[in-house]
Structure 1
Amino acid sequence: MRNKIEKDVRRYLVKIYGIVQGVGFRPYVYKKAKEYQIQGWVENTGGAVGIDCTGFKDNIKHFLLDIIKKPPSLSKIEKVECTDMTEKLLFNNNDINRGGFEIKQSSEEQNKVRFVSPDVSVCSKCLEDIKKKNTSRYRYAFTNCTECGPRYSIIKGLPYDRPRTVMENFHMCEDCQKEYDNPLNRRFHAQPNCCEKCGPTLLLLDNKGEQVECNDIIEETIKLLMDGKILAIKGIGGFHLVCDGKNEKTVLLLRARKHRRDKPLALMAKDINTIKEFCYVSEKEEEVLTSSKRPIVLLKKKCEFLLPYALAAKQKKLGVMLPYTPLHHLLFNEKLNLLVMTSGNISGMPIEYKNEEALKHLGKAADFFLVNNRDIYIPIDDSVVKVIDEEEIVSRRARGYTPYNLKVDTKLQIIALGGEQKNSICVSKNGYSYLSQYLGDLKEFECYENFKYVLKHFIKLFNINPDVIVHDIHPSYLSTQFAISLKGRKIAVQHHHAHMVSCMAEHSIDDIVIGIIFDGTGFGLDGAVWGGEFFIGNREFFKRAGHLEYVNIQGGDKAVKEPWRCAASYLYSLNYKPSEIIQDVAKESIEVVLQALNSDFNCFLSSSIGRLFDAVASLIGIRNYISYDGQAAIELENIIDKEIEESYPWNVEEREGIFHLQYKGIIEGILKDVKEKELASKISAKFHNSLAEASCYLVCRVRENEGINKVVLSGGVFENEYLLKKIYINLRKKGFQVFFNKQIPINDGGISFGQLNAASAIIKKGR
């Protein structure tokens, strides 16, 4: 009998890597062990979960299959290691069913691979809890469980246990401790577990920092919002500036105080039906809106738009999200169902996340502050996504989407420091890369400081001891200068090559491809500003197959903020008189630019499609000055008449093996239409169509020469959905395989990911 039992019994040591901490994985394993009469233990170990399991052969089989094939909904298994330990059984085989299973204390083992759960929106069960009267979680703003709540924003280190989070200062009451210790409770080992008796508390302050006396803080907050006040409200990743989204006077006041003249404001709606009152929502868009990530989703406005125009002037889309914390849900009622929920910062600065700093920096923007005493360890903005052809496209990776991990073809430890604007960082270890959240424009001192803070945190969190540091080739970028200050091997990657590789790595492409990289600014190998590029290459190398014809643009950084300077530069290059064409700009200012162009003072050669968009927007009277990045191009796209199929004359010349996309015919066609008072919507359509047609023609010429059939599209200009789809569809019709960024931002938020993968390929080739 003993021999038969021994033959039927198995023992395995299993290690599961992925997003398996902070998602209820250990409690799930515990319950499955009880179900299948398994002995042993489960523990968090570094960034993984370790399981020692012993039981009858069939029970072990079903136990492991359930765990691997049907894990908790928020988990993501990346890798499983299983070691047969049957020769070292720890119990008396004649009495197998007496053994127990336990959740052990986390170990400090430094694992091969580490993963961190993103922050997760409040689940339906916790929402039910906050509606139950006479309980310690009734209307409690910090209710959470293993299926929801803060994760990445509160984690100080791994393994993920309460002492390694900002919750270490809150000691669970007797009831919460019982939940935490009970394997049958959904708050079993929920690290942020708390209630009104033992957890974080809300505090309502005026903008001088004085406490507002009231009977019910949430009801008082709602009253203030309905009275037209602006509040700074602390959320999971930082503060939001909040006001009634239907009160136009308050919306305009918020814009003035935040110094956000034109850029669209994000909205939070009470529920999906509220959103459907003013926006079209497809099935996929609803799926993304209601997912556990709860991003801001860019949605098309309905024609009969009844909300304040100031929310998103000159835009056809609104950025809208649904509530993702218990507090957000509690802020809405029957009359208040739409809130402006914009990042709590003064434009250009990082999001505020500390109470004292928020009072200091947002005191002139907000009338009142709804704060709490739960710290935020890592500040993080809301993510921004859109849906194209029923696919989710991520424009800004942040809350709910970060850290983002993908396999990388290197075991080296690499840190990639990204670009200057829309910065992100990316690190790698043991075959995985980890992409950070959006970090903003490093030219802002506070953003630069936050960049260094997040980098330090990533190095600690993922236990990185870098072998290689990767940076942009632009010598003046702060990320480049910071890289140079560090010890270790450095690899510089050209900006647009990083864009191309970001798309290739996302789609697991290793072949040689044609890259169409349309961008605003990127330092070229010849010292010019590139941005209208056609490359041939792979992850390791590239060569220029073509580009938008160079133009000499005057004004340095001013040219980006003042599109009329781009228009003047293009006109000058074609021997037109800018002062006779550009409207609403002082002739004296134009004359100064012309004199500077004559003497080549403060000018730069540019092949940037972004600057071409700026020039066109100015020429047709859309925008001479911008108040946020890409504004002129965004507004130019928003006026397109999609019924127009015409285009302007364009030409592609080949010189010394490089194709040059000529802008002369396009600009002259636009000037002719402007003179004939053609509608701006038609001019915009013809311009976009011309660019798409010329690009596809150029790529076909490259295929004729090189025999390459794969094309990748990347770069910030491809945030332009019309241009992206036009080029994508046209190339597909011509038999190309076409790829563009989807989960990795197509803008500069994806640069660090591209840099890291380019460096990996360069190292692999021995360069």
Structure 2
Amino acid sequence: MGAVMPPPACVEHRLSTYSDGPPVLGCGAWFKNTLCVIRNGEAYVSRSVGNLDNAAACLAHENAARELLDWLAGVGNVPPAAIGHDLHPNFHSTRFALDLAQKLGIRAFAVQHHHAHIAALCAEHGVRQPVLGLALDGVGLGSDGTAWGGELLRVDGADFERRGHLRPLRLPGGDCAAREPWRMAASLLCDMGRSAEIATRFAAQPAAAELAQMIERDVNCPPTTSMGRVFDVAAGLLGLCPVMRFDAEAALALEQAATGYITRHGLPAPLAEGWRIDGGVLDLLPLFAVLADLKGIDHAGHGAALFHATLVAALDDWTGQIAALSGIRIVALGGGCFFNRLLSAGLRERLQRRGFTVLEASQPGPGDTAIALGQAWVVQRILEEL
């Protein structure tokens, strides 16, 4: 009777992972949190409980975990063999996972955020061989303790290596910069030696006059390799979204402006010499220098389209160079930035033209709702090696 029990009500996605292993639980990320159980080669991913920044979401997270555990007990009377959680020690999902593991007498394993993004694609597509993963999102704690978000990873089951990353950007004011794209634009102006422009260019922002000094003195300006912040730089320089009212507003505004321009004028050619690659680090500073100087009636639309065209070409070049060194011919595209259709479609076309097999997310999608799936899949691979 137990074997035919339907999944619990909290489950939104059910998919095959094409690999057997003991039942495991993934506790997900901070943003758009989900949980995932993998059992008998199938993954059951819960609907998102939202961001774990409030008591209601945290309680919903815990309730979903209990539903999944009760279901596991009902279908096989077997608790999970292990639990996967994010690398960040202060997430509610991490603390809950560690506490739950202790209560159940099982092991808990930390899985780096971007490793989990790429692992989720491996799980969905049933890929067990090494892949080159391009993980592009807003933020995730890196294994070096800094904020990652623009990463090229070699992922081989339970293991990953960071083969490349975006040139680090400074976040003036820390988390404030992730909500105010004008700050990210100001940061890049400083990097270009143009800090004197900040006060006038962003005169509508009360903190503009002081921000240049903060950046030049490197006070409260933690580094990040986030692709999300790269989109913020472009939106800030083009005046499309100085301050965000909701998550990813700047990136959406940039994509919409680019789409409108492309509809009217076609896709511009990528900016010649718009990027540099050195030692696996992709530097988009030449592109930003051009965007900062665009003028004209539709400079924002033109700049947004030029940004997308050049970014896709740069990522293609970067991925191709790293792949040539590794010999890997499978590229997985993970992270919330791939909700951007201009980015995902453009990069897919270029990579396939090079002969790569490209893995993209179908369910539960490329964003953080896939993290729990990736965590659970990695934990199963860890258990295989023990």
**TM-score, normalised relative to structure 2:** 0.91
Cα distance, 1:585 vs structure 2 = 3.0
CA contact (8 A) 1:427 1:435 kept: yes
What residue number does 1:115 align with? 6
Are 1:469 and 2:89 matched, yes or no?
no
Cα distance, 1:427 vs structure 2 = 1.4
Q: Which amino acid aligns with 2:6?
A: F
Q: Tell me: CA distance 1:504–1:670, structure 2 relative to 1, closer, same or farther (3 Å).
A: same
Q: Hey, what's the Cα distance between the residues in 2 that align with 1:459 and 1:706?
A: 40
Residue in structure 2 matching 1:424, options 34, 42, 45 = 34
CA contact (8 A) 1:564 1:582 kept: no
Q: Hey, what's the Cα distance between the residues in 1 that align with 2:210 and 2:95?
A: 33
Q: Hey, what's the Cα distance between the residues in 1 that align with 2:276 and 2:283?
A: 6
What residue number does 2:201 align with? 582
- Partner SS state of residue 504, structure 1: helix
Q: Tell me: CA distance 1:411–1:546, structure 2 relative to 1, closer, same or farther (3 Å).
A: closer
Are 1:650 and 2:268 matched, yes or no?
no
What residue number does 1:438 align with? 48
Cα distance, 1:584 vs structure 2 = 5.4
- Structure 1 spans left out of the alignment, 5+ residues: 1-44, 49-113, 117-151, 154-377, 379-397
Aligned length: 371
What residue number does 1:730 align with? 350
Q: Which amino acid aligns with 2:269?
A: E
- Once the two structures are superposed, the pairs formed by residues 446-461 of structure 1 within 5 Å of their partners are 446-461=56-71
**TM-score, normalised relative to structure 1:** 0.47
Q: Which has the larger radius of gyration?
A: 1
Q: Which amino acid aligns with 1:574?
A: M
Q: Hey, what's the Cα distance between the residues in 2 that align with 1:449 and 1:613?
A: 33
Q: Which amino acid aligns with 2:302?
A: K
CA contact (8 A) 1:408 1:757 kept: no
Q: Which amino acid aligns with 2:180?
A: E
Residue in structure 1 matching 2:318, options 685, 698, 710 = 698
Q: Hey, what's the Cα distance between the residues in 2 that align with 1:430 and 1:647?
A: 47
- Once the two structures are superposed, the pairs formed by residues 121-136 of structure 1 within 5 Å of their partners are none
Q: Deviations over 1:370-397 (max 9, x none)?
A: xxxxxxxx6xxxxxxxxxxxxxxxxxxx
Q: Hey, what's the Cα distance between the residues in 1 that align with 2:41 and 2:140?
A: 29
Cα distance, 1:599 vs structure 2 = 3.8
Q: Tell me: CA distance 1:602–1:408, structure 2 relative to 1, closer, same or farther (3 Å).
A: farther
Q: Tell me: CA distance 1:494–1:482, structure 2 relative to 1, closer, same or farther (3 Å).
A: same
- Once the two structures are superposed, the pairs formed by residues 614-763 of structure 1 within 5 Å of their partners are 614-640=232-258, 641-642=261-262, 643-648=266-271, 649-655=273-279, 659-674=280-295, 678-763=298-383
What residue number does 2:175 align with? 557
Cα distance, 1:758 vs structure 2 = 1.1
What residue number does 1:484 align with? 98
Cα distance, 1:47 vs structure 2 = 4.0
Q: Hey, what's the Cα distance between the residues in 1 that align with 2:346 and 2:79?
A: 44
Q: Deviations over 1:486-507 (max 9, x none)?
A: 3131111110110011111101
CA contact (8 A) 2:178 2:229 kept: yes
Q: Which amino acid aligns with 2:276?
A: V
Q: Which amino acid aligns with 1:434?
A: Y
Q: Hey, what's the Cα distance between the residues in 2 that align with 1:669 and 1:403?
A: 43
- Partner SS state of residue 438, structure 1: coil
Q: Deviations over 1:7-32 (max 9, x none)?
A: xxxxxxxxxxxxxxxxxxxxxxxxxx
Q: Hey, what's the Cα distance between the residues in 1 that align with 2:108 and 2:204?
A: 45
Q: Hey, what's the Cα distance between the residues in 2 that align with 1:455 and 1:536?
A: 31
Q: Which amino acid aligns with 1:645?
A: P
Q: Which amino acid aligns with 2:224?
A: S
Q: CA RMSD in A?
A: 1.9
CA contact (8 A) 2:17 2:123 kept: no
Q: Hey, what's the Cα distance between the residues in 2 that align with 1:736 and 1:445?
A: 44
Q: Tell me: CA distance 1:654–1:452, structure 2 relative to 1, closer, same or farther (3 Å).
A: same
> Counting helix residues as a fraction of each chain, which structure ranks higher?
2
Cα distance, 1:764 vs structure 2 = 1.2
Compare 473-482 and 514-523 and name the one that shifted more: 473-482
CA contact (8 A) 1:514 1:535 kept: yes
What residue number does 1:525 align with? 143
Q: Tell me: CA distance 1:593–1:475, structure 2 relative to 1, closer, same or farther (3 Å).
A: farther
Q: Deviations over 1:410-448 (max 9, x none)?
A: 432311111000110011334432111111000122111
Q: Hey, what's the Cα distance between the residues in 2 that align with 1:471 and 1:634?
A: 29
Cα distance, 1:474 vs structure 2 = 1.4
Q: Which amino acid aligns with 1:467?
A: A
Compare 564-573 and 596-605 and name the one that shifted more: 596-605
Are 1:505 and 2:123 matched, yes or no?
yes
- Partner SS state of residue 554, structure 1: coil
- Partner SS state of residue 28, structure 2: coil
